Structure 1
Amino acid sequence: MKNIQFFFASTTIWSLLFALICASHSSTGSNSSSPDIINYNDFSLQFEDYFNQTELNTTIWKVGDNLVRTKDQFQIYTKENVKLKNNSLVISAQYNSTIWKGQKYDYTGGYLDTRGDLGFKFKYGYAEARIKLPQLYTNDSSFPAFWGLPADNSRWHYSVEIDIMEYCNVCSGKDTSTYIYGAYIYGNREQYGDCRIWYRSPMKQLDFTQYHLYGMLWNENEVTFYVDGVANFSYIAKDPSNNSSVGCPIVIPNRDFYLILNFAVIQKFAKPEHYKETKEMYVDYVRVYKSKNQ
């Protein structure tokens, strides 16, 4: 009887180990080498900010003030929309007419990145942020995000962009439910001409008014997005694009990135009545880990 019990116990343990070793989450096609569940014992902490000080750490963070990132954006980012409150970073968007360099902007948003006085950048590892998002109206223009760009080339949108979390209810066509998703954008004009690829991972519905953990595991062969420590989707090098009309292979960046947190407004859906109260995204902390295997 003991031998039978030992056999079943051993089988259970090996099955569990096999499940942990062999990732089972969805990917662009090839088998993922990223774990289904993040194990922090596999990493060493490289960077953290819990936003529990009285002022933002400007040696790391740079706040966008009177910033318009691209000519296509119609809101302006101001420092008034980035604050520390109740031991959290609070990034907001609001209907608030502002004049800058002769241009009128009806909406203002918040933006900051890790390009402060000393700054922070990283290549490979696991980056995460614990975030609480606002309730959205139907066809809401709110567009908060946690993402990254290359430190040596921050041009958007003709470069690499990794969107760890984007929050939207006008990004899924006729389905007006509220979702989060990750996105991976790669456009190497020298290698692929005018090939710009946009991959969006499967969208996920949660109670976004509660805190959730949004993460990205990045190594030389793939990028994997996580929600609450569980893998959502992997983008694997050399797999074909999920856009069959493009056909470009996925290329994983091998250069330093900086992190961005922002709250934008989508022009097409912007309505003043959706901003009777300021919309706010709360960030409890941001952490970046380095793999012990690197």
Structure 2
Amino acid sequence: MQQKMKSIKNSFAFISICACLFVLASATHDTTCGQSQHPDVINYQDFTLQFEDQFNKIEINTQYWNVSDNLIRTNQQFQIYTKENVKIKDDNLVLSAQYKPTTLEQKKYDYSGGYLDTTGSIGFKFQYGYAEARIKLPKLQFQDSSFPAFWALPHPAYNSRWPYSVEVDIMEYCNVCSGSDTNDYIYGANIYGNRQQYGDCRIWYRSTMKQITFTDYHLYGWFWTEKEMTFYIDGVAYYSYIFNDPSNNKSIGCPVVIPDKEFILIFDFAVIEKYAKPEHYKEPKEMYVDYVKVYSLNKK
């Protein structure tokens, strides 16, 4: 009997180890600490296409997209967004930043950038699913101020609380965002703040920073479910935020929050004030977007 119980106990131990290994093998990418439920590699058969733009028309589709002109996003914004920095070229959406002094309402802006979002006449917004864009980024110089991004805001996007409410950065590209390290990186970020719920704090959780061949086209993706969101490069996961994960930012004591609102998508090309140099913009810096797609997750 004792031998039989030992055999059963060993069997349970073996099953437990196998189950643990199976869970660990199911998702091996970095997270805020907990175990990710999102796949390491995107399987498109799990999704249904909900929205896409191939940018293969002569002009931008204003039914979906709103192109900003003479836009200052916040009082602290350094550059001005103008429509001349957003165009269709070679079947790509092209956003640029350039040194071009402009005066608006008696204030001078030395640099201009491009900005558009899915708040066109019909518009597009979504809650949960997988969003991706195929993007080619410009080559940056030493301490370059260029700051192109693919990101998302809750709808309606233009509310008085931004940027202190919620923001998801699917891809930001920067070489002055990592202290003394002057390499080029992309990263994703989860930004939110709610004084009533989390106390006096605004949370900015930035993913691990990734190096790739930026001047090639790459897919930058965001998989978003009720309890988790994960960032992908070329369909491969590299970082997840997991709901209420207590491991992050213990000194502040704020949990990881996953947004539960409808979001719009945004492309923009900004300029970072501290490092801006006219000589870096002898020609406009350009970000090429081949396409953008959004998928809903199939019910299982």
Q: What percentage of aligned pairs have identical amino acids?
A: 67
2:182 to 176, 181, 199: 176
Q: Which residue of 1 aligns with 2:7?
A: none
Runs (4+) of structure 1 exceeding 6 A deviation are none
Deviations 1:240-294 (A, max 9, x none): 2632321200111111000000000000000000101110000000000000027
Alignment of 1:1-294 (within 5 A): 18=22, 22-152=26-156, 154=158, 155-240=161-246, 242-293=248-299
Retained in 2: the 8 A contact 1:20–1:35? no
Deviations 1:59-118 (A, max 9, x none): 100001000000111100000000000000000000001111111100000000000011
| 2: CA distance, partners of 1:271 / 1:244 | 38
Q: If the length of structure 1 is used for normalisation, what is the TM-score?
A: 0.92
Retained in 2: the 8 A contact 1:37–1:229? yes
Report the CA distance shift for 1:115/1:153 in structure 2 as closer, same or farther (over 3 A).
closer
Report the CA distance shift for 1:287/1:237 in structure 2 as closer, same or farther (over 3 A).
same
**What SS class does the counterpart of residue 52 from structure 1 fall into?**
coil
| 2: CA distance, partners of 1:167 / 1:192 | 29
| 2: CA distance, partners of 1:147 / 1:293 | 26
Q: Which residue of 2 aligns with 1:5?
A: none
Corresponding letter in the other structure for 2:114: G
Once the two structures are overlaid, the 10-residue window that deviates more, 261-270 or 243-252, is: 243-252
| 2: CA distance, partners of 1:106 / 1:59 | 31
Q: Unaligned stretches of 5+ in structure 1? A: 1-13
Retained in 2: the 8 A contact 1:153–1:159? no
Retained in 1: the 8 A contact 2:33–2:247? no
| 2: CA distance, partners of 1:252 / 1:243 | 16
**What SS class does the counterpart of residue 102 from structure 2 fall into?**
strand
Deviations 1:1-27 (A, max 9, x none): xxxxxxxxxxxxx99xx5897111111
Retained in 2: the 8 A contact 1:197–1:241? no
1:192 deviation in Å? Answer: 1.3
Q: Which residue of 1 aligns with 2:6?
A: none
Once the two structures are overlaid, the 10-residue window that deviates more, 190-199 or 119-128, is: 190-199
C-alpha RMSD of matched pairs (Å): 1.8
| 2: CA distance, partners of 1:192 / 1:248 | 6
Aligned length: 280
1:156 deviation in Å? Answer: 2.1
| 2: CA distance, partners of 1:65 / 1:240 | 42
| 2: CA distance, partners of 1:179 / 1:266 | 15
Retained in 1: the 8 A contact 2:170–2:189? yes
Retained in 2: the 8 A contact 1:21–1:35? no
Retained in 1: the 8 A contact 2:187–2:209? yes
Report the CA distance shift for 1:244/1:19 in structure 2 as closer, same or farther (over 3 A).
closer
| 2: CA distance, partners of 1:247 / 1:115 | 35
Q: If the length of structure 2 is used for normalisation, what is the TM-score?
A: 0.90
**What SS class does the counterpart of residue 111 from structure 2 fall into?**
strand
1:190 deviation in Å? Answer: 2.0
| 2: CA distance, partners of 1:27 / 1:84 | 37
Corresponding letter in the other structure for 2:71: L
| 1: CA distance, partners of 2:289 / 2:39 | 25
1:157 deviation in Å? Answer: 1.6
Report the CA distance shift for 1:19/1:247 in structure 2 as closer, same or farther (over 3 A).
closer
